A and B are shown apart, each in its own frame.
Chain A
Amino acid sequence: MKIGLPKALLYYYYAPLWKAFFDELNVKYIESSDTTSKTLLLGKEKSIDEACLALKIYLGHIRELKDKCDYILVPRIFSLKKTEQVCTNFNCIYDLVRNTFKDIKILNYNIDVKRHYTEKNAFIKIGKELGFSIIESRNAYKKAKEIEKTYYLQEEKKAKVALKTNKTKILLLGHPYILKDNLIGKSIINYLEKNNISIIYSCQIPRDLIEFNCSKISTKIHFTMNKEEVAAFNYFKDKVDGTIILTAFPCGPDSLANEMIIRKRKKHPTLLLTFEDLTNNTAVITRLESFLDMLKGGIHL
């Protein structure tokens, strides 16, 4: 038996946890390959015009995996905290995939903390579907959680190292599935690295500082995943030279959170890059190049 993990959307939040859980239970899994233009094309054919770029890419990954594995892991997340909500894409993605691809078997888990469906229960349910006992699944989940924790600690350390250099430092802010995607964020990262810039990612903020830092900018953000970005902005803004916000069009939660950041940034240099369909990136490069020129008061006679 083989589980397929589409390398898009929630993969970039949960991959360490998922992989550790399956490793622990000795279940085989495969990941889809990095996003390419072809992935996007495959996804576009299956999505409606209202879907965001990231969702189109996700569907492309599902199509790639479809015939290569027995199950595809498609979680449904409704809420991760009692008073907060997540992007509607994560609410609907299970139903969306099931209705778009009739012939695939989905390994599903449901997290809805408002209605007491916790992450732990969700993993026990996966275990059950794959034929493991509650105790086996629970132990595997416990161990996977430890591994996830060390992963985030490593990420924090990476940020600390990136902040220590003498190079120009830029905070790259956005959902990890945008920042780390091979088609979207990678081109930006490559450009920045070529220009000798040290990059800090918004997802590298220490987990336990998110609530506090977010409240410094606003206490009323109710999108769980955007809290991380808003908090990262507050936490890193005095340590970096500038911030680049990447977002996919049309992202509902981002349109609120990014606006909040831009209004509260004061004099901190900030660039907002919106991605739609990517056929050429000259417009993006123009904006990036001028932003890098401007940092540290670089444009003057």
Chain B
Amino acid sequence: MEASLGIDIGSISTKGVILDNDNNILASTYLWTEGNPIKAVKKVLKDLERQIDKDVKVTSVGTTGSARKLIGTMLGATSIKNEITAHAIGTLSKYPNIKTILEIGGQDSKIILLDNGIVTDYAMNTLCAAGTGSFLSSQAKRLGLNVEDFGKIALTSKNPTNIAARCTVFAESDLVHKIQMGYKRNDIIAGLCYSVASNYLNNVGKGKKIEGPIIFQGGVSKNIGVKKAFEDLLHEDIIVDENGHLMGAIGSAILARKTGIKKEFNFKVKDANFETSGIECKGCPNHCEIIVVKKDDKILDSWGNRCDKGALKVKEQ
């Protein structure tokens, strides 16, 4: 049986799926990137290989997420695509009538608007990562809680505390202040969830017409407190799919299959030794930083150079 592999390597978590030709999930995995995408992907491959039968042959590989290029090079992927395209395709495969996709990940957040199954508009957060997953997890640490429990605790609050939402630094000092004032913990946590949702709608969703059906995905969608905050703010029901975190990976697997290029994928790749190094090209005052990926001491690919001088520099090495 032919199948396709999709991997979504985000800043915080790495997701992988194997799909058959009818988009059924044969295997899936979800684990922390922990600042080492290569190691995370090796773990993902190991986990996926364990879940599938012997007769399944992976013939196409797609990657997405912030480390898509690195991992795409490593796995010889047929499709290396941005997160917007991958998420939209993945979601459409399950919800063809969806109109709005809200996505909050570890370091970026995005909104995708669709009309009749075609993406018409999108937006991503600009300069800063305020109101994303990393903000929630750092605040959880401050409160001495697991971020996974945030949602449940938030739901117990009847009177969420108001917390400044514009900027992470402001929110943090506001939060400390509210703790010291003696506000209830569950109210503060619910307030944090509200601040994430309203920050998102004010920044990313600014000026966008948000229409139902709405789906909420990305790591933060696992937090029911934020989901409830969105429902209250938008006055609409919000779908959270149990596989919501996998949508990017599903999308990239579909995109890889759609390229039509078939190349058998060997899981042995996970045993190879991959190494990345950065070299600074001194050919001109730009000092481009070039990333070189090596597989078993052979150069696979390199990028980051603005001009051809950089490529020569890599060859010299």
Q: Is the CB of A38 within 8 A of B92?
A: no
CB-CB under 8 A from A38, the residues of chain B are 285-287
A36 contacts B85, CB within 8 Å?
no
| B306 interface hit (Cβ, 8 Å) | yes
- Is B124 positioned at the interface, with any CB of A under 8 Å from its CB? yes
Given contacts A38-B287, A263-B207, A299-B89, contact A290 B84 (CB under 8 A): yes
Which one of A8-16, A119-127, A130-138, A281-289 is at the B interface?
A281-289
Contact of A187 among B82, B84, B306 (CB under 8 A): B306
Write out the residue numbers on chain A whose beta carbons fall within 8 Å of the beta carbon of B127.
Answer: 249, 274, 276
Contact (A290, B83) CB under 8 Å given A263-B207, A299-B118: yes
Which residue of chain B is the closest to A183 with respect to CB atoms? B286
Question: A-facing mask of B113-131, CB < 8 A → 1, else 0?
Answer: 0000111111010110000
Q: List 13 A-B contacts (CB under 8 A).
A: A36-B285, A187-B306, A190-B306, A274-B127, A286-B82, A286-B83, A286-B84, A297-B118, A297-B120, A300-B92, A300-B117, A300-B119, A301-B254
Say whether B124 contacts A287, CB under 8 Å.
yes
Q: How big is the B interface, by class?
A: 20 to 34
| B213 lies within 8 A of chain A by Cβ | no
Q: Closest residue to A274 on the B side, CB-wise?
A: B126
With both chains docked as a complex, state the minimum distance between the C-beta of B74 and any C-beta of chain A, in angstroms: 16
Q: Does A67 contact B (CB under 8 A)?
A: no
Closest 6 CB pairs of A and B: A290-B84, A38-B285, A299-B119, A36-B285, A290-B82, A297-B118
Taking the closest CB of chain A, its distance from the CB of B88, in whole angstroms, is 5
The smallest C-beta distance from A8 to any residue of chain B, in angstroms, reads 15
Given contacts A267-B120, A286-B83, A290-B83, contact A301 B96 (CB under 8 A): yes
B112 nearest CB across to chain A (Å): 9
Q: B92 near A301 (CB under 8 angstroms)? A: yes
Q: Which of B82, B93, B122, B124 contacts A301 (CB 8 A)?
A: B93
Closest to A282 in B: B66
B118 lies within 8 A of A300 (CB)? yes
Could you tell me the distance in whole angstroms from the C-beta of A96 to the nearest C-beta in chain B?
24
Residue B284 at the A interface, CB < 8 A? yes
A37 at the A/B interface (Cβ < 8 Å)? Answer: yes
Q: Are B285 and A37 in contact (CB under 8 A)?
A: yes
Chain A residues within CB distance 8 Å of chain B = 36-39, 183, 187, 190, 249, 262-263, 267, 269, 272, 274, 276, 280, 282, 286-287, 289-290, 293-294, 297-301
Closest to B128 in A: A276
How far does the alpha carbon of A173 sit from the alpha carbon of B207 in the complex, in Å? Answer: 20
Q: Is the CB of B285 within 8 A of A39?
A: yes
CB distance from B81 to the nearest CB of A (A): 8
Q: Determine the chain B residues whose CB is within 8 A of the CB of A294 once the complex forms.
A: 84, 119-122
Q: Which residues of B contact A (CB under 8 A)?
A: 66, 81-85, 88-89, 92-93, 96, 117-122, 124, 126-127, 207, 254, 284-287, 289, 304, 306
Pair B284/A36 contact, Cβ less than 8 Å: yes
Instruction: Report how far A38 CA is from B109 CA in the complex, Å.
Output: 32
Query: Is the beta-carbon distance between A269 and B121 smaller than 8 angstroms?
Result: yes
Q: In this complex, which of B124, B207, B286 has the most chain A Cβ atoms within 10 angstroms of its Cβ?
A: B286
Q: Specify which chain A residues have a CB less than 8 angstroms from the CB of B254 in the assembled complex.
A: 301
Cβ–Cβ contact A301 & B119, under 8 A: no
Which chain A residue has the least Cβ–Cβ distance from B258?
A301
List the B side residues contacting A272 at CB < 8 Å.
126
Chain A nearest Cβ from B181, distance in angstroms:
32
Q: How far is the CA of A190 from the CA of B119 in the complex (A)?
A: 25
Q: Is the CB of A293 within 8 A of B285?
A: no
| CA distance in complex: A267, B127 (Å) | 24
Chain B positions within 8 Å of A36 at CB level: 284-286
B285 x A299 contact (CB < 8 A): no
In the bound complex, CA of A183 to CA of B117 (Å): 38
Measured between beta carbons, the chain B residues less than 8 angstroms from A297 are 118-120
Task: Decide: B84 and A37 in contact? CB cutoff 8 A.
Answer: no
Contacts of B124 in A (CB 8 A): 286-287
Closest B residue to A268 by beta carbon equals B121
Please tell me if the beta carbons of A293 and B85 are within 8 angstroms of each other in the complex: yes
Alpha-carbon distance between A263 and B209 when the two chains are bound, in angstroms:
12
Q: Determine the chain A residues whose CB is within 8 A of the CB of B287 once the complex forms.
A: 37-38
What's the least CB distance linking B285 to chain A, in Å?
4
Taken together as a complex, chains A and B put the C-alpha atoms of A301 and B96 apart, in Å, by: 9
A281 to chain B, nearest CB (A): 9
Neighbouring A residues of B92 by C-beta, 8 Å = 300-301
Contact flag A301-B286 (CB < 8 Å), given A187-B306, A287-B124, A289-B82: no
Which residues of A lie under 8 Å from residue B207 when comparing CB positions? 262-263
Q: Indicate if the CB atoms of B85 and A301 lie closer than 8 Å.
A: no
Query: What distance in Å separates the Cβ of A57 from its nearest Cβ neighbour in chain B?
Result: 13
Contacts of B82 in A (CB 8 A): 286, 289-290, 293
Q: How distant is B44 from chain A, measured CB to nearest CB, in Å? A: 21
- The winner among B96, B117, B119, B284 for most chain A CB atoms within 10 A is B119
Q: A286–B84 Cα gap in the complex (Å)?
A: 9
Residues of chain A lying within 8 A (CB to CB) of residue B121: 269, 294
Taking CB atoms, residues of chain B closer than 8 Å to A190 are 306
The distance in angstroms between the C-alpha atoms of A37 and B286, with both chains bound, is 5
Complex Cα spacing A190 to B284, Å: 18
- When distances are taken between beta carbons in the complex, the residues of chain B under 8 Å from A300 are 92, 117-119
**Within the assembled complex, what's the spacing in Å between the Cα atoms of A280 and B304?**
8
CB distance from A134 to the nearest CB of B (A): 42
Cross-chain contact A301 with B285 (CB below 8 angstroms): no
Chain B residues near A263 (CB-CB < 8 A): 207
A86 to B85, CA, bound (A): 40
- In the docked arrangement, what's the CA distance between A39 and B286, Å? 9
Taken together as a complex, chains A and B put the C-alpha atoms of A68 and B15 apart, in Å, by: 56
